[in-house]
Amino acid sequence: MYEILRKETLSDAVKLMVVSAPAVARKAQPGQFVIVRTDEYGERIPLTIADFDAEAGTITIILQEAGKSTLQMGRMQQGEAFATFTGPLGHPTEIACFGTVVCVGGGVGIAPVYPIARALRDAGNAVISIIGARNRELLFWEDRMRDVSDELIVCTDDGSYGRKSLVTGPLKEILEQRRHEIARIWAIGPAIMMKFVSLTTEPYGVATIVSLNTIMIDGTGMCGGCRVVLEEGAQFVCVDGPEFDGHKVDWDILLARQRFYQEEERAAIRRWEHICRLQHAAAEGG
């Protein structure tokens, strides 16, 4: 069992957890992910590593409550434990001194972009970061990102904080003005954001790396449920990724595959909310 040592509520729907997993923490590197399962009944969910501390033996994960499983995880408290916490999985980010790089984090994708930006900065890169969310409420780690960036641009879709723009807005401006400075771009966030970041950067010919989070079960290459279609053919996100060249990803297939279990997800959420209401009523009544 893997104990939650600390829990932080970053926003109503975004929770940070520091989890005790010493053997995973010893090996974790930026860009890798873990597979987490709440209990005997739980799904195996891939979550990108937001931070790690080999000495303390901890892994930090950040989750956005979206489906039944993440809703349930979000309700778990400090002292409770996950049944499964497997990792570190996937290839680590290729860290080197490239020159000037841009790190784009959207929504909960800010979490996995943070250790990558930090490692890139430590490797001597000039780091320009763009973080964005739907609104102020969903934005987090501005301070942390500022610490590891030479330049930080914050935006929200609704303009409730920072600049009113999608992340692609400032990204396009940077490319217009400083195309020849930018060596590489990392983008992590919702698939639709990564698709549009890739479309934005493609005309400028700047290498754009995205980190995909797909349907997955084992995380070791066994099920093939996470396959993604690239120009050169299908690859598995769990063992060939999770990072890929954003210009080569077939985003339409990716987006369609993510929707495959939508109906079941909705049914599971309805059932979960019903159970929560019953528990709540029982607690009130008792």
Partner 1 sequence: MPGLTQRQRMSIPRQGMPEQDPQVRSANFDEVALGFTEELAKREADRCIQCARPHCVEGCPVGVLIPEFLSALRDGDMLGAVRAMKVNNSLAAVCGRVCPQEVQCEQTCVLARKGEPVAIGRLERYVGDYELARRTCPLQRAPATGKQVAVVGSGPAGLACAVDVARQGHRVVLFESLHSAGGVLVYGIPEFRLPKSVVRGEIDYAAECLGIEVRVDHVIGRILTTQELIEEYDAVFLGTGAGLPSFLRIPGINLNGVMSANEFLTRVNLMKAYRFPEYDTPVRVGRRVAVVGAGNVAMDAARCSLRLQRLRSLSASESGDEVHVVYRRSRVEVPARAEEVHHAEQEGVIFDFLTSPVEILGDASLGVAGMRCIRMVLGEPDSSGRRRPVPVQGSEFEIDVDTVIFALGTSPNPLVFLGSPGLERTKWGTVVADEQTGRTTVRGVWAGGDVVTGAATVVSAMGAGRRAAADIVGYLQDVPETW
Closer CB to partner 1, 68 or 144, in the complex: 68
Of 105-113, 115-123, 175-183, 227-235, which segment contacts partner 1 by CB under 8 A? 227-235
d(CA 9, CA 277): 22
d(CA 103, CA 161): 19
Closer CB to partner 1, 57 or 169, in the complex: 57
Q: Which of 52, 85, 140, 141 binds partner 1 (CB under 8 A)?
A: 85
d(CA 206, CA 204): 6
Q: Which of 81, 142, 217, 240 binds partner 1 (CB under 8 A)?
A: 217
Q: Which of residues 42-61 bind partner 1 (CB under 8 A)?
A: 42-44
d(CA 25, CA 102): 26
SS3 243: strand
271 CB burial (10 A radius; 0-12, 13-18, 19+): exposed
Closer CB to partner 1, 67 or 115, in the complex: 67
Give, rounded to a whole angstrom, the gap between the first and last alpha carbons of the chain: 31
Closer CB to partner 1, 37 or 184, in the complex: 37
SS3 120: helix
Least separation in angstroms between residue 175's CB and partner 1 is: 31
Q: What is the DSSP letter of 265?
A: H
Contact 227, 210 (CB under 8 A): no
Q: What is the DSSP letter of 191?
A: H
Q: Work out the angle at residue 161's Cα, subtended by the Cα atoms of residues 160 and 162, and round it to the nearest 5 degrees.
A: 135
Least separation in angstroms between residue 83's CB and partner 1 is: 7
| Residue 47, token pair as written in the block | 């979550």
Q: Which of residues 140-159 bind partner 1 (CB under 8 A)?
A: none
Q: Is 121 in the site for partner 1 (CB under 8 A)?
A: no
Q: Which of 97, 222, 278, 281 binds partner 1 (CB under 8 A)?
A: 222
Q: Which of 117, 116, 15, 126 is nearest to 60 (CA)?
A: 15
Q: Which of 261, 273, 278, 281 binds partner 1 (CB under 8 A)?
A: 261
Q: Is 70 in the site for partner 1 (CB under 8 A)?
A: no
Which residue type, as a one-letter code, is found at position 12? Answer: D
Q: Which of residues 13-42 bind partner 1 (CB under 8 A)?
A: 23-24, 27, 37, 41-42
Instruction: State the pairing for strand pair 2-11/14-20.
Output: antiparallel
Binding mask 239-258 for partner 1 (x = CB under 8 A): x----------x-xx--xx-
Closer CB to partner 1, 37 or 144, in the complex: 37
Least separation in angstroms between residue 106's CB and partner 1 is: 24
Q: What is the DSSP letter of 157?
A: S
Contact 197, 185 (CB under 8 A): yes
Q: Is 268 in the site for partner 1 (CB under 8 A)?
A: yes
Q: Tell how many helices (H) and how many strands (E) occur in the chain.
A: 9, 17
Closer CB to partner 1, 137 or 218, in the complex: 218
**Size of residue set near partner 1 by CB under 8 A:** 43
Give me the residues that bind partner 1 (CB under 8 A), please.
23-24, 27, 37, 41-44, 68-69, 83-89, 217-225, 227, 229, 234, 239, 250, 252-253, 256-257, 259-261, 264-265, 267-268, 271
